[in-house]
Structure 1
Amino acid sequence: MKKFILFLFLSGLMLTSFGQPWKTDRQEIIGSAGPSFLTGDVGGAVDQPTNTIRDINFKATRFSLGGGYNYFIRQDMSVVGQFTYNMLTAKDEFAANEARRNRNFDIRTHLMEVSAQYRYYFVKDKFGHTFKLRDASSMFFSQISAYAAIGVAGFYFNPKGRYSDNKFYALQPLGTEGQGLAGEPEKYKRIGIAIPFSIGAKYSLGERWGIGAELCIRKTFTDYIDDVSTVYYDNTAIETAYGEKAGFLADPNDGANPTWTGAGERRGGENLQDYYATFMFSVNYKLLKGNSFKPRF
């Protein structure tokens, strides 16, 4: 009798495992790469800057590289942790707004991000074998899954500006808006928090491998990813405190409209926080536990 009960128990476990292959395939490794975009106070594709996706200037597109780990809570839910390196650039040369072109900022930012996101698959992810379908079109669409995600991210950034020698120099130590001088705020922190919003799709290539694409937009709580936020500070005071290089990088305009960049004139828009975005193409690999094979005829 005991052997019979044990047999029933083990049979039930096996049936449950075979009936829910996602429970044995729930871990996934992700590698990704794709273009990156910054919408801040420099550059911009529309005449009236908005710091939204409408303001992306594709001439300033650079790249991102990432890796991560995805863990399925249910077949339609997962949590994913990722590390992403982002190269972000912004140039007033590309701006639609005349005042921005006059400023002549040319900014490069290396941004490294660690994030955790919750994914909801409104088209469930695929697990196990899904072959022997009626026709090629059915097979193609049956392999697609899609999701939306939200989470939290921490990042480190280091904006640099192009100097007259055509090299880039870190801007935060130079106090380009008077930071660190008497009566002025301290220099901004180069770490920040963001809220990432993502939408993506995946295509299963089999039991283990898959490919995907994801658009992720990050809402940040800093206006200094491009080092530009408030008003111009007295340039002579900046040069006296931090040197000639700091004075140039604080105001690199070519002198065509010098009154536009005088002390107290608008340099950026501190009421609009910076956003950055990526469109990543990924390769996904499921870590299988045991034999999760179950043919679906």
Structure 2
Amino acid sequence: MKKILLVGVLFPLFSYAQWNVNLFGGFSNYIGDLQSKTYTTQQSNGSFGAGLQYDLNGHISLLSNLTYGRISAADGYSPKADLRARNLNFESVIDEWNLLAEYNFFDLQEHRLTPYVFAGLAVFHFNPYAYDTTGKKVYLRQLSTEGEGLAQYPGRKPYALTQLSIPFGGGIKFRISDRVVLAYEIGFRKTFTDYLDDVSSTYVDRAILLAARGPEAVEMAYRGNELKGGAGYPPAGTVRGNPKAKDWYYMSGLRVTIALNSSNGMSGMSMHRHHKGVIDCPKKVY
């Protein structure tokens, strides 16, 4: 009897279940010590991705995507004079793999348009870098710009370049045809690091950094002296960043979802609608 009940519960899910391909294109940005705005297109970069989506029913889907993005920011764009005087900048590629659950407020078999939300878990890789005064690309983690890994600063451990984040967001979908859905979405990623931009806490002693990592580390840790009239390297302990606020990154753009054919050659969308006796576009558009 229990088995019959279980089949009765699960059958509607698997009879509807449909595989889809997702394609994403848009822009990426971050929130941190060099970019404090919650959401902005200033200093944004391109991002794109692809993945698979499994529709359990008309409202709930499971997704897995591989996403590429790039984040960057520079103090020179800041409205605050003290940050412009610091003159730091960075760039980083973000490679992400995620697992998401998504909820559509309206069934797209009955409505042409629906808002939706999603959340899940992601693994991402980053590696911040900047260009020195000669134009040479310099990866920042290896320089220990805030004393990470130095014996004189035992509380500052080197940060991992591959970490977890919590993606969540939402958007709005528009069904173009039985097999194609177009969406615009915004997805934020809560991270557990303050080093997406290689900036977190305070300046370390210049002499210690110079002896341990060389002149390039000192040059990239503070760049105010590159400006006309800029000050020299700050005293040890001077605030460089805010360690209480972890960094975030986000991606926003268009997503195209394409339904794959089922084993009998008919998409899950079409099958569902034919079972309901409907073969043309739904009348509801909201």
TM range (shorter): 0.7 to 0.9
Deviation at 1:197, TM superposition (A): 1.2
Change (3 A) 1:116 1:284: same
Give the structure 2 partner of residue 137 of structure 1: none
Distance apart, 1:273 and its partner CA: 0.4
**Which position in structure 1 is the counterpart of 2:103?**
120
The corresponding residue for 2:30 is 38
Identity of aligned residues (%): 27
Match of 1:250 in 2: 221
Distance in 2 (alpha carbons) for counterparts of 1:96 and 1:260 = 22
- What letter corresponds to residue 34 of structure 1 in structure 2? G
Q: Given residue 268 of structure 1, which amino acid in structure 2 is its aligned partner?
A: G
Q: How does 1:145-184 map to 2 (within 5 A)?
A: 145-184=114-153
Where 1:101 maps in the other structure, the secondary structure is helix
1:174–1:242 Cα contact (<8 Å) kept? yes
Aligned residue runs from structure 1 range 1-297, under 5 A: 23=15, 26-45=18-37, 52-53=38-39, 56=40, 58-126=41-109, 142-184=111-153, 185-254=156-225, 256=229, 258=231, 261-289=234-262, 290=264, 291=266, 292-293=270-271, 294=274, 295-296=278-279
Change (3 A) 1:165 1:287: same
Q: Is the 8 A contact 2:188 2:248 kept in 1?
A: yes
3-state secondary structure, aligned to 2:252: strand
Counterpart residue type for residue 82 of structure 1? N
Unaligned runs of 5+ in 1: 1-16, 46-51, 131-141
SS of the equivalent of 2:199 reads: coil
Distance 1:190 1:258, change over 3 A: same
For residues 195 and 98 of structure 1, what CA distance do their matches in structure 2 show?
Answer: 33
Q: Which moved more, 1:270-279 or 1:199-208?
A: 199-208
Deviation at 1:21, TM superposition (A): 11
How much does 1:246 deviate? Answer: 1.2
- The DSSP-based 3-state class of the residue aligned with 2:217 is helix
8 Å Cα contact 1:177-1:230 kept in structure 2 = yes
Question: Alignment length, in residue pairs?
Answer: 256
Amino acid at match of 1:77: I
Q: Is the partner of 2:55 in helix, strand or coil?
A: strand
Kindly state the Cα deviation for residue 42 of structure 1 after the two structures are TM-superposed. Answer: 1.1
* Unaligned residue ranges in structure 2 (runs of 5+): 1-10, 281-286
For 1:272 and 1:155, how far apart are their aligned partners in 2? Answer: 19
Larger Rg: 1
TM-score (norm 1): 0.80
**Aligned equivalents of 1:278, 1:167: Cα separation in 2:** 28
Q: Is the 8 A contact 2:70 2:94 kept in 1?
A: yes
**Equivalent residues of 2:102, 2:119 under 8 A apart:** yes
Q: CA RMSD in A?
A: 2.2
* CA-to-aligned-CA distance 1:59-97 (integer Å, 9 cap, x gap): 311111111111112211011111111100011001122
CA distance in 1, matches of 2:174, 2:14: 16
Deviation of 1:262 (Å): 2.4
